[in-house]
Chains A and B, each alone.
Chain A
């Protein structure tokens, strides 16, 4: 993109435009997940049958994935610090570490779902399992999106280009992380 309108260079609010936009994006995503999770909580409170079904989820796998995601957020923060110092290649390496975290998370999830489907807990088994697969699936699609975004940002950052984007990808990644922090207790711990 060679040409940029002057509008993109202004900063009347005193904040970088990209950061503002990502925060608004996060707001809209919070409401999407908020609607889904609020529906789940209403059902969970009204139906004791959910607890019986939730007992079949594997808390240890969920806990391991929580650890993986939290660690990947740490490397995203370190990437931001490196980008602030102007060290693009280091930021890129740390972003790749975050992407590895995302891929680990997805691989564990694939293993976990295979196991559950083989035991007969499919998306149509009951309302709990419908929520389980839809909420985690929607979250996983955000993990994939975040990983793809970070690949582009890391490619540019390695050549010291567009370093401010490291922070933006990081904000988004923290959001994906926080959604999981809500999903983990709701789907795995509350039995």
Chain B
């Protein structure tokens, strides 16, 4: 009956036409095309951000050296590089790939819909995002150069010309960030509304795959936290260009206000990108351990708890910014509290693996390594959330290593897990497993070799803002310099491993074995259509109807070890 209604609706509105050629890539409203555009834009930006890391790490290891393929890293260039490395990796890599690319690709397919509820809004969202990326890249070529005040944009450094402010670059940076936010607000409204309204007939709230839930909760978190920073960006822009007095202490403004506005968004943002990665990992783990996800509803409740708590922790970034110590106590408690739901999620995932028949495919390896590395990131966060130890650790490489042990699992490992897992669905062909595993092992070992030395350096007091330690011989011992060199070599190894992935990706795109509809014998709805799915995802009269939850593996009532959501009982 539901089908009949759908078919009727379709007949009423005529055919949803597929566009071809150049028009397809400029104006297509198909969610899969937009997802791929987000993914490839994000991958291109990741190469730029990775190259920046290479340039400034070379400067740390070999101060004053002419860096191959880059040249001399002057103090100002160093600041430009670290600023834009941070901003690009978070706003133009993690956000577009984890939320926009996977959200756009998976939400309609996993919900059994033929597209988003607002396809044209979706298109607009990508176009604004692309514009924001172009504006950011343009800021490197304007007079005065790109912004160099760190990705957190703290005033007064970011607001006053006498502190070496790039006259145009700083404002272009702000405009780019603001456009990026607008793009994701539009995208988020689309994700949330689609999930609320466009589910397949029969799909109840608790039949939605975890990854969709996670992306939707992440979109809500983003929407509820980014507003103050949009207002703050407007205020900072006015300070830079008009000379208003919001953050300028000389005129009665307050620079710490910016830190509040920034981190009120900045900390929930960690969970905005974490949750989609957590969701991707959950879906991969159930498929490759052939087991039902342990405690589906508990995962949801912990996600909601994380979401609520994430709005109460932001001032732990400001323990040394002169906030009231009594307030620091409160934020210490909330920060330590938020590790509870996250730890609970990790335990739920381990319980899912327990007793399962595990296959160590490439996506599964990425998923398992996500858990292992993110755990290190989470545990080291305890040291920084407690105000007492944070005062010692603040602005050292310990903070930096902690941060990268959370964000690399999220943005790099989570993305590789998702891309290797859904590659057959995206392009209809299988990736090469051997190349995939070689790439995995080199990347994961190199990643640990970069950041474990940086933890050690941080506890020795290595300060993250120092550009050349030969100027500070008193605070650097020979073994510390050796560790910086080691970390830099590890980074080069990690970067050199990425062409293996790119080769595997593009070779398999054309030459890989055909995948078929459901190569992993998985339950969720995206596997019930062709690979790659045609325009409209399913034939108009065959849109799926849902009969059960997404994780019924090895169910006694099912003949097979999997039980697709759309199969009648």
Contacts and interface: CB of A to CB of B under 8 A. Distances in A.
Interface of A: 1-13, 15, 17, 20-21, 24-25, 27-36, 38-39, 42-43, 47, 49, 123-124, 126-127, 130-131, 134, 138
Contact of A13 (B14, B196, B230, B257): B196
B198 A12 contact: yes
A126 B223 contact: no
B223 A3 contact: no
B228 interface: yes
Contacts of B232: 35, 39
Contacts of A127: 244-246, 251-253
B189 A21 contact: yes
B438 to A, nearest CB: 40
A3 B15 contact: yes
Interface size for chain B: under 10, 10 to 19, 20 to 34, or 35 or more residues?
A: 35 or more
A130 B257 CA distance: 15
B197 A15 contact: yes
Contact of B117 (A7, A43, A130): A7
A178 to B, nearest CB: 15
Contacts of B242: 123-124
A165 to B, nearest CB: 14
B223 A27 contact: yes
Contacts of A138: 231, 234
Contacts of B254: 43
B117 A17 contact: yes
Contacts of A32: 227-228, 230-231
A42 to B, nearest CB: 7
Contact of A25 (B189, B226, B540): B189
Contacts of A12: 196-199, 203
B185 interface: yes
Contacts of A15: 196-197
A9 B9 CA distance: 7
Nearest to A24: B189
B401 to A, nearest CB: 31
Contact of A124 (B225, B227, B235, B244): B244
Nearest to B121: A21
B224 interface: yes
A47 B190 CA distance: 42
A33 B117 CA distance: 27
B243 interface: yes
B159 interface: no
Given A28-B223, A31-B226, A39-B257, A17 B193 contact: yes
A93 to B, nearest CB: 29
Nearest to B228: A35
Contact of A126 (B188, B198, B252): B252
A6 B114 contact: yes
Contacts of A4: 13, 16
Nearest to B16: A3
Contacts, number: 155
Contact of B113 (A10, A29, A47): A10
A31 B227 contact: yes
Contact of B227 (A17, A33, A123): A33
Interface in B374-416: none
A35 B227 contact: yes
Contacts of B251: 126-127
B502 to A, nearest CB: 33
Given A3-B14, A10-B198, A28 B189 contact: yes
A6 B10 contact: yes
Contacts of A5: 16, 113-116, 119, 536
B366 interface: no
Contacts of B113: 5-7, 10
Contacts of B197: 10-13, 15, 17, 20
Contact of B225 (A3, A31, A42, A43): A31
Contacts of B293: none
The interface centre, meaning the residue of A1, A2, A11, A36 with most chain B CB atoms within 10 A of its CB, is: A36
Contacts of B14: 2-3
Which of A9, A33, A34, A131 has the most chain B CB atoms closer than 10 A to its own CB? A9
23 contacts: A5-B115, A5-B116, A6-B9, A6-B10, A7-B108, A7-B114, A8-B118, A17-B197, A17-B198, A21-B118, A24-B188, A28-B226, A28-B227, A32-B228, A33-B227, A35-B232, A35-B261, A39-B257, A43-B257, A124-B243, A126-B251, A130-B244, A134-B234
A39 B223 CA distance: 19
B353 interface: no
B228 A34 contact: yes
B252 A31 contact: no
A67 B198 CA distance: 41
Nearest to B252: A127
B139 to A, nearest CB: 23
B464 interface: no
B4 to A, nearest CB: 12
A38 B227 CA distance: 12
Given A25-B189, A30-B227, A124-B244, A35 B198 contact: no
A120 B517 CA distance: 71
Nearest to B202: A12
B6 A33 contact: no
A1 B120 contact: yes
- The 7 A-B pairs at the shortest CB distance, nearest first, are namely A35-B228, A31-B227, A5-B115, A130-B244, A32-B227, A7-B113, A36-B231
B38 interface: no
Interface string B164-196: 000000000000000000000100111011101
Nearest to B115: A5
A30 B238 CA distance: 21
Most chain B C-beta atoms within 10 Å of own C-beta, residue among A1, A47, A124: A124
A7 B238 contact: no
A20 B196 contact: yes
B244 A123 contact: yes
B103 to A, nearest CB: 14
Contacts of A49: 252
B38 to A, nearest CB: 19
Nearest to A25: B189
Contacts of B230: 32, 35
Contacts of A9: 6, 9, 13
Contacts of B224: 27-28, 31
